[in-house]
Amino acid sequence: MKKALIAILIALGVIILIIAGVLTYGNIYASNYTYEAPEVIEIEPNEYNTVTAVGKGLYDENGKRFDIKGINYGNLFISEGWMTVNSVGALYKRNGSFKKVNEQGIVEEYKEIFQEEMDAILAERFTPGEIKALNDAYFYSYCTDADFQLISDIGLNTIRLPVYYRNFMEGPDDALTMRDDAFEKLDHFLDLAKNHGLKVIIDMHGVVGGQSGFEHSGTRRIEFWDNETYIESMCTLWKNIALHYIEDRPDLASTILAYDLVNEPTNRHEIGTGPKQWAVLDRMYQAIREVDSNHVISIEGVWYTCSLPSPEKYGWENVLYQYHFYNWNHDKGISNSMFYGLQFALMSIFDTDFDVPKFVGEFSFFGNEGAWEEYLGKFDSLGWGWTVWSYKIVSVGYWDNSWGIVVNKLNLQNDLNTPIEDYRLKLDLRSATYDEIMAAWSNEHTEYAGQEGSYKIYDNGLLYNVLTKYFDKQKSAE
């Protein structure tokens, strides 16, 4: 028995040493990494003056390297419950009390709200004309010229824009057709970006049938990867998007940095992106390439730096590889050094530092200001572009300002003696009147550049302060 215990302890010790060695190796690999992409190259611009991928760099029409330093504009075209003023009800304990109420009497946890279910609720309650009026009010208050001015003033150069297949298509999922107004809002967004010299990555955040089952995919379903009809619909959609910006709005082609095929392409119950996803992503890539060889196509691999194949496997050209990193266990003993050490080690061990540009499309370091500074610098030294998640958020009490540059503090404080039925809560789409929803959705402006709004920059806004400090440091080094 004693010998067996000693053997187990020795084995555990060896495993710990191996893991520690791998993580240390990863961090050493990253520290010694040399990013080999010239700042300027000779390049023959295409007729649309789009950014082009050459080796590990992205280059503009003049041959100047374009390093992505950007922000995600989440919750505009596809809803994410925690980021919105909306809800479908709070979460409760079995005894009927709220699941989480903070010391200010603010209810902090709500049911997940998927875009598909949100649309169904509105369709049951209102006419198509009323729904259009609500959606228009929301869109045109959530993104205005002031937002793009702020993003540009900070120093950011890129917006990653999450979109949803139903922004462009209508009808039953097995017989989708393009909407007559498919590009009205996207064109408007791109016009605003162009006016402020910003590039946009169009990110298909939610596909028909659902790619992952996460709330941000728009549906609880995970049916996309095995459904031929759904795959064909997405190939058609991407082809139509590419055609629109070549034939109908070529003046916006240069504003589009890349087409991001599918956000976080994985089943939530599986380990990450793999061969099944690669094959489907290739079909969408090929659909775009039938009509557009000029735009960069971004291909995502989650959750590891070894989650994508060599581009040569599928003949991919002019592509941008993308990763998403969230160290959700940063407060449970998994340090950023460990988390990123593993990512760096996997890239080296599996030899996946392919000769393509790379960027971190989503990430956060939560409330750790030092980690923000350290790893933005690390991404830069590796030549990885980045787009932070996200630009605008709401706060019900516990989301701090590390999640958004501008924050709408809902101020839903309650007296802890208030009866549950009388608590102030987020807007419940199941019961709120049309006028109540219209009032809320018309009040999504950002307070900036003389515009009044419910979304504000706060003095203690961590993300805003981190980014302004980062760009101030960049300017002083020039």
Average pLDDT, stretch 408-416? 88
Compute the Cα dihedral for 348, 350, 356, 357 and give only its sign: negative
d(CA 383, CA 34): 9
When divided into structural domains, the chain yields a total of 1
215-259 residue pLDDT tens: 999 999 999 999 999 999 999 999 999 999 999 999 999 999 999
140-173 residue pLDDT tens: 999 999 999 999 999 999 999 999 999 999 999 9
Is residue 327 domain-resident? yes
CATH of residue 192: 3.20.20.80
Is residue 202 domain-resident? yes
Residue 8 pLDDT class (50, 70, 90 cuts): low
d(CA 387, CA 413): 33
d(CA 229, CA 282): 16
13 has a pLDDT exceeding 90: no
d(CA 255, CA 311): 25
124-139 residue pLDDT tens: 999 999 999 999 999 9
Helices (H), ranges, 290-356: 336-349
Is residue 7 domain-resident? no
Is residue 19 domain-resident? no
Residue 240 tokens, joined: 């139509």
Q: Which of these, 318, 315, 389, 382, lies nearest to 347 by C-alpha position?
A: 382
* 186, 204 Cβ separation under 8 angstroms: no
Is residue 18 domain-resident? no
Average pLDDT, stretch 462-467? 96
Q: Which of these, 38, 34, 35, 68, lies nearest to 51 by C-alpha position?
A: 68
Residue 384 tokens, joined: 């990885």
Q: Which domain, by its residues, includes 326?
A: 33-477
Lowest mean pLDDT among 215-224, 378-387, 410-419: 410-419
Residue 17 pLDDT class (50, 70, 90 cuts): low
d(CA 12, CA 153): 52
Q: Which of these, 290, 300, 217, 230, lies nearest to 258 by C-alpha position?
A: 300
d(CA 241, CA 207): 14
pLDDT of residue 411: 86
Is residue 391 domain-resident? yes
Is residue 412 domain-resident? yes
Residue 45 tokens, joined: 């611009």
2 has a pLDDT exceeding 90: no
Is residue 17 domain-resident? no
Start-to-end CA span in the chain (Å) = 66
| Helix H or strand E encompassing 392 | strand 392-395
278-336 residue pLDDT tens: 999 999 999 999 999 999 999 999 999 999 999 999 999 999 999 999 999 998 999 99
d(CA 333, CA 83): 27
Higher pLDDT, 414 or 235: 235
Residue 31 pLDDT class (50, 70, 90 cuts): confident
Give the count of beta carbons closer than 10 Å to the beta carbon of residue 415: 10
14 has a pLDDT exceeding 60: no
User: How many residues comprise the chain?
Assistant: 478
36 has a pLDDT exceeding 60: yes
d(CA 364, CA 330): 11
Q: Is 236 left (phi over 0), alpha (psi -120 to 50) or beta?
A: alpha
The mean of the pLDDT values for the chain is: 94
448: which DSSP letter? Answer: B
The pTM of the full predicted model, rounded to 2 decimals, is: 0.95
Lowest mean pLDDT among 26-30, 53-57, 212-216, 465-469: 26-30
Q: Is residue 301 classed as helix, strand or coil in its secondary structure?
A: coil
